[in-house]
Amino acid sequence: MSTRKVYTISYGCQMNTLDAELVRGDLARNGYEHVSEMSGADVILVNTCSVRDHAETKVWSLLGRAGQMKKERPDLQIGVLGCMAQRVKDDIVKRAPYVDLVLGTANFRSAVQDLEDLRRSGGRVVRTDRRPSADFLPDAGRQVTARPERHRAWVTVMRGCDHACAYCIVPFTRGREVSRPLADVLDETRRLADDGVREVTFLGQNINTYGKNSGEGGLCTLLEEAATIQGLDRIRFLTSNPFDMTEDMMRRFGAVERVMPWLHIPAQSGSDAVLKRMKRTYTVAQYEEVVGWARTHIPGVEITSDFIVGFPGETDEDFEGTRRLVERSELVQAYVFKYSLRPQTQAARRLPDDVRESVKQARNVAIHATQDVISERRNRAVIGDTFQVLVDGVSRTRKEMLAGREPGNRIVHFPGDASMAGRMAEIRITACGKHSLVGELESVED
Ligand code: SF4
């Protein structure tokens, strides 16, 4: 058994965070001790993201620092995992030859074995060949106790994506869509609930099509079955793209009490011409229809969305369409990204990145300004209401307060005792900001 100290860091989406959790569980099971500073580690593992250039830049800079450390401690082991390993493995080997381990998006579960082998034999392992398939997914045998939060957890239900959005690197880094078997997902969820998890979030790049070729029933069946698991109070899921969504699915979401009234439905643009170039396969009107179904069938639903500004060819008029869509959609929150060209994507190959950076920046600011007014208005509208909040613990941003989430997934800050973490509390909302609510404790369960 090794007692080596390992430092792990993960960039990017929630699925990446969860992949890092899987690796951390494997390491802990094999006697590795986790440390919170890179300087004290014998092993540094970086789980990477390729969605934006910025995310990759951060990894290169971290690798530079790790390389300096290795000059002084040659036995330090350095590994790069995930999307960047998948996308630019040759660059990693060339630019950072001191890296010992490069494991792609479906190979990272071999990290422990590879680290041990490398210690014995030296050299380097580069493995990015394996792709998720029906008989292989890297999710098997999760150690459910190795997770950062005691009462909330994430569960990957599918990997990859069958869509081909022009700007997106996911089809290249994570491959075609593969769903985990229903029984497998339910078993993991049950084990998490047995270990104290009260809220689970199911993850998939395009979760509406979960189980589409399995003959086992899809997302709605998964939600309905998960809702019967003892001890599990809340279920969330993402990402619900506007395509592959039906009104009947919305009806079924709304009918399951434990499915929380929150949907993340990325719009990306409010211009049909831009959506077409993005290959998003829906129109603005269809997006709004999906939002309408959600509001009709899911009582009290809160909707969040993503937008990209400055996509190739986006004119002032196209952008104005996006701004107007934001105004009409009454979202509780919108995440806005400036278009960032990713090599290998269809957009990089076919469409010149022709919107000036200053224009992208101005559009980014304008959408944020529009959304901020709406977010604050929606938050203000619930002042005086009482919500059931699952208490996370001491707030990360307001240390004198506790924080938790209401059913619509907004953060709620309130005064209280840290021992309330993991319990449901009734909180009456008394104030708000753009991104969170503030309230007072009315009662808390025993
Ligand atoms: S739906 Fe589009 S944006 Fe989302 S992962 Fe698939 S290809 Fe990428």
Nearest CA to 371 out of 337, 417, 406, 408 is that of 337
**Contact at 8 Å (CB) between 318 and 274?**
yes
Same fold, 131-260 and 264-381: yes
Residue 129 CA neighbour count, 13 Å, CB half:
3
Lining residues, ligand 1, CB within 6 Å:
161, 163-165, 168, 170-171, 205-206, 241
Nearest CA to 199 out of 392, 16, 14, 15 is that of 392
Nearest CA to 355 out of 367, 338, 368, 374 is that of 338
Ligand 1 atom closest to Cα of 174? 5
Going by pLDDT thresholds of 50, 70 and 90, the confidence category of residue 51 is confident
Measured in Å, residue 300 CA sits from the centre of ligand 1 at 27
What is the DSSP-derived secondary structure letter of residue 133?
B
* Rounded distance between C-alpha atoms, residue 361 and residue 15, angstroms: 28
* Rounded distance between C-alpha atoms, residue 417 and residue 193, angstroms: 24
φ, ψ dihedrals at 438, nearest 5°: -125, 140
The pLDDT score that the predictor gives to residue 52 is 82
Is the dihedral angle over the CA atoms 295, 297, 298, 300 positive or is it negative? Answer: positive
The pLDDT score that the predictor gives to residue 329 is 97
What is the DSSP-derived secondary structure letter of residue 247?
H
The pLDDT score that the predictor gives to residue 43 is 97
Topology of the domain comprising 131-260? Transcription Regulator spoIIAA (3.30.750)
Whether residue 239 has a cis bond before it, omega within 30° of 0: yes
Residue bearing the CA closest to ligand 1, atom 4:
205
Q: What is the DSSP string of 24-41?
A: HHHHHHTT-EE-S-GGG-
Measured in Å, residue 164 CA sits from the centre of ligand 1 at 6
What pLDDT, in 10s, does the model give residues 108-137?
A: 999 999 999 999 999 999 998 767 666 678
* Rounded distance between C-alpha atoms, residue 385 and residue 387, angstroms: 7
* Rounded distance between C-alpha atoms, residue 330 and residue 410, angstroms: 15
The pLDDT score that the predictor gives to residue 173 is 87
Nearest CA to 252 out of 291, 206, 286, 221 is that of 221
Domain ranges of the chain: 5-127, 131-260, 264-381, 386-444
What pLDDT, in 10s, does the model give residues 429-445?
A: 999 999 999 999 999 99
Measured in Å, residue 170 CA sits from the centre of ligand 1 at 6
For a ligand 1 pocket test, name from 170, 212, 280, 306 the mutation site with the most ligand atoms within 8 angstroms of its C-beta.
170
Measured in Å, residue 131 CA sits from the centre of ligand 1 at 17
Q: Is the domain defined by 264-381 classed in CATH 3.40.605.10?
A: no
The pLDDT score that the predictor gives to residue 134 is 67
What is the DSSP-derived secondary structure letter of residue 225?
H
CA distances, 310 to each of 12, 172, 274, 319 (Å): 21, 22, 10, 8
Between 390 and 107, residue with greater pLDDT: 390
Matching residue, tokens 């979760």: 207
Residue bearing the CA closest to ligand 1, atom 2:
165
Mention every residue, 6+ apart, whose C-beta is less than 8 A from residue 215. none
Q: What is the DSSP string of 193-206?
A: HHTT--EEEEE-TT
Going by pLDDT thresholds of 50, 70 and 90, the confidence category of residue 93 is very high
Tokens matching residue 222? 């998964």
Measured in Å, residue 266 CA sits from the centre of ligand 1 at 10
Going by pLDDT thresholds of 50, 70 and 90, the confidence category of residue 61 is very high
Which stretches within 7-162 are classed as H helix? 14-29, 53-72, 83-87, 89-95, 111-121
For a ligand 1 pocket test, name from 158, 163, 276, 337 the mutation site with the most ligand atoms within 8 angstroms of its C-beta.
163
Measured in Å, residue 165 CA sits from the centre of ligand 1 at 5
What pLDDT, in 10s, does the model give residues 134-150?
A: 667 888 888 888 888 89
Ligand 1 atom closest to Cα of 241? 1
Tokens matching residue 419? 């021992």
Ligand 1 atom closest to Cα of 164? 7
**Contact at 8 Å (CB) between 178 and 134?**
yes
28: amino acid identity, one letter = A
What pLDDT, in 10s, does the model give residues 150-174?
A: 999 999 999 999 999 999 988 888 8
Nearest CA to 252 out of 208, 288, 212 is that of 208
Measured in Å, residue 339 CA sits from the centre of ligand 1 at 15
Ligand 1 atom closest to Cα of 280? 2
* C-beta neighbour count of 254 within 10 angstroms: 18
Side-by-side strand order, sheet with 302-309: 262-264, 302-309, 333-338
Measured in Å, residue 299 CA sits from the centre of ligand 1 at 28
pTM for the full model?
0.91
* Rounded distance between C-alpha atoms, residue 143 and residue 136, angstroms: 18
262 burial level (CB within 10 Å; 0-12, 13-18, 19+): buried
For a ligand 1 pocket test, name from 49, 83, 241, 339 the mutation site with the most ligand atoms within 8 angstroms of its C-beta.
241
* Rounded distance between C-alpha atoms, residue 19 and residue 10, angstroms: 9
Measured in Å, residue 206 CA sits from the centre of ligand 1 at 7
What pLDDT, in 10s, does the model give residues 348-361?
A: 999 999 999 999 99
Longest dimension (CA), the chain: 65
Q: Is the domain defined by 5-127 classed in CATH 3.40.50.12160?
A: yes
Ligand 1 atom closest to Cα of 171? 7
Ligand 1 atom closest to Cα of 239? 4
Average pLDDT for 3-21 = 91
For a ligand 1 pocket test, name from 15, 159, 165, 307 the mutation site with the most ligand atoms within 8 angstroms of its C-beta.
165
Domain boundaries 386-444, corresponding CATH code = 2.40.50.140
Average pLDDT for 63-88 = 94
For a ligand 1 pocket test, name from 206, 207, 209, 280 the mutation site with the most ligand atoms within 8 angstroms of its C-beta.
206
What pLDDT, in 10s, does the model give residues 233-268?
A: 999 999 999 999 999 999 999 999 999 999 999 999
Measured in Å, residue 167 CA sits from the centre of ligand 1 at 9
